[in-house]
Structure formats: structure tokens, C-alpha cells
A and B are shown apart, each in its own frame.
Chain A
Amino acid sequence: MDLIEKLQYLDRRWIFLLIALTVILPLIIPLHLKINPSPAVESGYKFIDELPEGSKVLISYDFEPSVVPELGPMGTSFIHHCCQRKHKIIGMALWPAGQVLLESALNTVARDVYNYRYGLDYVNLGFMAGNQVVITSLGESFRKTYPTDFYNTPLSKIPLMNGITNYSNIDLIIDVSAGDPGIPYWVMYAGTAYGKKIIGGCTAVSAPQLYPYYSSGQLVSLLGGLKGAAEYETLIGKPGPASRGMDAQSVAHVLIILFVIIGNITFYLDKRRQKMRGKQAWKS
């Protein structure tokens, strides 16, 4: 077997090993590559920054642990920024595990770093089944949709929720979402229907499909994937796991591009060689 054939039929476990090394080495030896925020992310940062102090921000954690590397830092950055600007935070989740991830983020950031008080400065309403119906129902009444919060406390007993009837009392909606239900439903049923401003944070898989919403102005801002999270961390001045991961991301992308190029080169060389062999066999 010559080199071209060896490359053509390479055992995929060597590819797995190369990818693993490409991810591990930059984590052990950081490259400290600079991260420059993009316009799509800066617009969201600017919007939250310019909201009057004490504005009510609804944050929806619509994702599972599987995408925490991308969306966890994003959600945490949003909470950091809201706390820096002294906004009130109402948290909820449309995905079951989102409520626990939200609880952890609110406790770690809002409570432990900024001394936010539960019930006065922030609240976690928890998860509610129903997908888009939950979003439309919140437009009518928060209390009918969420009789109790994550800790089974009736909403009537939570001071922050007094005076919050429906979307008319909310100044901004931030949706951190991994898919369905997620940003499209928030845009459809809260943004377009009730005219609310929405900032979207999504996985890199969903980002290209959500650009039309950002382009049409239905989204104030769109953060896509680990890069979006890293850019927001840079903007708020709190580099975290997303920023640290960008070194490995950069190297891995270059490797994948090399894989595609080498794969195509070996494919076409092998194809040409087989054509030549075919011609020679025909002549003889």
C-alpha cells in the first residue's frame, strides 16, 4: 500500500486521536489568542447597558446539560451583565434541566457575587411544560402560567412578582436556547405578537438559521456558539470557560479544514491513478 492508499483508507481512530490532541494541548498550554466582539454581539451588550437601572429582565434557559459548554458561559455572562447594571432578573425554563442550570447560575453569580436577594432582586420560576403555549400564556398572565416558583412558593408571596402581570411589565427578554422550543417561538409569540425586545443566545448549530430574525430586527442581538459566548465575556470584562476554549476551537478548525483538503487531494489523486491504470490496461 503506498502513501496515497494509506491516506485514503486511514483508520478513523487515528483521526479521533488527532482531534483529541488538538483539543487537549491548547487547554494545557493556552495560546491567549485575542477575541474581538462582532456587531451582532455588541448590539446586545449595548442594549442591556442602556436599559434604565432596575429594569425587569426575563431570562429563559432553554437548554440541557449537553450544550452547557456553549450556552452555560453565555447565560452566566448575561446574568453578570444584568447584575452589573442592577437589573431585576426573572428566570424560567422551557426545557426541564434548564431550571436546575439556571438555579446554579443565579446562585453562583447573582447571589454569591453581587449579593442579590431571592424574591427581591431575582427569582427562578422554574420549568413549565407546554413549549410555545407557555410563551403565549405568559403574555396573558404570569401567575396563571406559573402558580408557584422553583421552590413551590406561590407567586403572590414573592415581592419581585408583585406588579408583574404579563409582558407589559417586562423590559427585555433574553432567551438562551439549544433548539426547539427556543428563540423562534420567543420571536413569534413574545416579540412579534407583543412587541417585546429579545436577545437570543443559541448553539452554533442553530445560529445560521436565526440570522434572518436578527437581520429583520426581530432580534436585537444574536450570540452564536462558543465564539458568541467568548465575545460577550470579553465585553463584560470577565473572561471565562468560553474564552479559554477558543484557543482549542481555533486549532481544531484549522485541523478540520486540513482534513477536508487532504481527503479531497488523496481522493482525486487516487481517482486519476485508477483512470491511468484503466487506460494502460486497455492499451495492453
Chain B
Amino acid sequence: MAKYRIPILIAMITGCAMVIREFIPHYPFNILNTTFQQWYMIIACFAILLGVGSLLTIHGQKISRRRPGWGYSVVLILSFLIITFFGMVGGISEKGEGFIGSGFNWMFEYMYNSLQSTMFSILAFFVASAAYRAFRARTAEATLLLLAAFVVMLGRVTAGEYLWSQLPIITEWIMDYPNTAGQRAVMIGIGLGIVSTSLRIILGIEKSYLGGE
């Protein structure tokens, strides 16, 4: 009962409360709605803690069992501890002063910022490599895809305008009409899927989020 029925009941009550509030925005549904929303925000933070806990557990085990690459796990845990110390003791405000007060923002600006930006920027190289080696116009559909891509890529940069003055307006037209048509079809399909899945969860039919056993 406690393992299955109570969680399904919780999902049902909270889901219904959120839906009913749309139709009856008065007491008690407005209070319930606000309360559940505030609780959601609090519990969402602890979900992140769960992720951090898992990360530390995995890398801690790697270090204790001296698995290959354990040195890098030491780097991971040390950097985690250092920034957490700065953040918890010195605070996260940009106005922090002194070594400890400004440490958190320094690490954000010069480590987090640059590492994350660079991680994503190397994708440009792989996109270029994929463009050369993998994008083949083998079928009519693939050819149409590539032609649309060429028009959009040229039309969205100034080089395209220099090649043909009408290219930007044609690109805008493709985005406004054929692209919107295709994306709208996808959006409606996904929207209907989400609505039906949400309904199944609220009615207790869908139980996969509870996990096995």
C-alpha cells in the first residue's frame, strides 16, 4: 500500500488540484495551487542534491578502489569541495569581498564559464566534419532537406544577400510557411501525446515513474 497506492494517490490529488484550479480559481483551490507550487520548488532543489550525491558516490568509489583514471576523480571531488566552500562560506554575491568572498564568482567566471563555453564550441568542428563526411543526398527527401538547409544557411547571413538580393526574403518565407507547417505538425503531435500521458498519470494508469518492484 505505502509503496504503490499512496504515491499514486499523491500524484492524483496534486494533478487534479492543478487542473481544477484552472476552472475554479477560488478558495480552496487557489490556496492549494499556490502551496503545491511552493513545495514543488523546494523539493526540486533536493532532486539536484540527489544528483550531486550520486556523482560523489561514484567518484568516491573510483578513488577508494583505485580504478583506472582515479586521479581525475580526485580533481573532480577537490574542485567540488573548493567551490562549495567558497559558495557556502563566502556567499554567491558578486559584491563579495576578500579571497573567500570573491572565490565563488572567480571560479564561475574563469573556470565554469570558459569550460562550459569551450565544451559546446568544439561541436562546430564536429558539425563541419559531419557535413563533409556524412551528409549525403541519397534520396529525394534527403536532397530536399539539404537544399532547404543551403537556402536557410545562406539566407541568414550577409553573404547570401551579396549572392542574390532576394535570398533573405525567400529564407524568411521558408521559415514563416513551410517550416512553420512542419514544426506545427510536430508540436500538435507532441502536445497531444503530453496531454494524454499527463491524463494517464493523474488517473493512475501510468505508473512507470515509480520504478520497478
Is any CB of A less than 8 Å from a CB of B in the complex? yes
CB < 8 Å: which of B41, B45, B157, B186 contacts A246?
B157
What residue of chain B has the Cβ atom nearest to residue A147's Cβ? B38
Closest to B95 in A: A151
0/1 interface trace, chain B 148-177, chain A, CB 8 Å (1 if under): 001001101111111000001000100110
B157 touches A128 (CB 8 A): no
Bound complex: CA A254 to CA B117 (Å): 24
- Of A63-71, A154-162, A274-282, the segment with at least 4 beta carbons within 8 Å of chain B is A63-71
- Structural contact, A35 and B131, CB atoms closer than 8 A: no
Contact present for B136 and A211 (CB under 8 Å):
no
Q: Is A109 engaged at the interface, CB distance under 8 Å to the other chain?
A: no
Chain B residues in 8 Å Cβ range of A23? 124
Given contacts A15-B125, A16-B129, A256-B128, contact A215 B180 (CB under 8 A): yes
Determine the residue in chain B with the shortest Cβ distance to A210.
Answer: B183
Assess whether A208 is in contact with B159, with CB atoms less than 8 Å apart. Answer: no
Contact status B157-A15, CB under 8 Å:
no
- A window 237-284: CB within 8 A of B: 246-247, 249-257, 259-260, 262-264, 267
* B160 CB, min distance to chain A CBs, angstroms: 8
Main secondary structure of the interface of A (DSSP, over half): helix
Q: Is A164 an interface residue (CB 8 A)?
A: no
Interface residue range, chain B = 35 or more
A114–B108 Cα distance when bound, in Å, is 27
Our pick among A66, A100, A208, A250 for the contact of B119 (Cβ within 8 Å) is: A66
- Chain A contacts with B in 125-182, Cβ cutoff 8 A: 128-131, 133-134, 136-137, 140-141, 144-145, 150-151
Q: Tell me how many residue pairs across A and B have CB atoms closer than 8 Å.
A: 148
**Total A residues in contact with B, Cβ cutoff 8 Å:** 64
Q: B180 to chain A: which residues have CB within 8 Å?
A: 211-212, 215
Q: Which residues of B contact A137 (CB under 8 A)?
A: 34, 37-38, 41
* Smallest Cβ-Cβ distance to A212: which chain B residue: B184
Residues of A within 8 A of B150 (CB): 257, 260
Which chain A residue has the least Cβ–Cβ distance from B25? A140
B41, A34: Cβ atoms under 8 Å?
no
CA A104 to CA B113, docked complex, whole Å: 13
Structural contact, B128 and A15, CB atoms closer than 8 A = yes
Task: For the complex formed, measure the closest distance between the CB of B83 and the CB atoms of chain A, giving whole angstroms.
Answer: 13
Closest B residue to A215 by beta carbon equals B180
Which of chain B's residues have a CB closer than 8 A to the CB of A145?
38, 41
A235 within 8 A of partner (CB): no
| B124 to A, closest residue via Cβ | A19
Q: Who on chain B is nearest to A246 by CB?
A: B158
Residues in B with CB closer than 8 Å to A103 are 94
Which of chain A's residues have a CB closer than 8 A to the CB of B37?
130, 133, 136-137, 140
Cβ contacts under 8 Å, A256 to chain B = 127-128, 131, 153
CB <8 Å contact, B187 and A129: no
Are B45's CB and A129's CB within 8 A?
A: yes
- Residues of chain A contacted by B132 (CB below 8 angstroms): 10, 12, 15, 259-260, 262-263
Contacts of A97 in B (CB 8 A): 108, 112
The answer to the question of B93 belonging to the interface, with a C-beta cut-off of 8 Å to chain A, is yes
Q: Check: B209 CB closer than 8 A to any chain A CB.
A: no
Chain A residues positioned under 8 Å from B183 (CB to CB): 208-209, 211-212
B4 at the interface (CB under 8 A from A): no
Point out the residue from B34, B158, B186 that lies within 8 Å of A250, measured CB to CB: B158
The residues of B that contact A225 with a CB separation of less than 8 Å are 156
| Residues in chain B near residue A33, CB distance under 8 A | 158-159, 162
Question: When A and B form their complex, which 9 residue pairs have the shortest distance between CB atoms, in order from nearest?
Answer: A130-B41, A33-B158, A250-B159, A250-B157, A259-B132, A66-B120, A65-B113, A12-B129, A212-B184
7 contacts between A and B (CB under 8 A): A23-B124, A68-B117, A104-B94, A133-B37, A209-B186, A211-B175, A263-B135
Extra contacts besides A12-B132, A260-B135 (11): CB < 8 Å: A33-B158, A65-B114, A100-B94, A133-B44, A140-B37, A145-B41, A150-B93, A212-B184, A215-B184, A253-B153, A263-B131
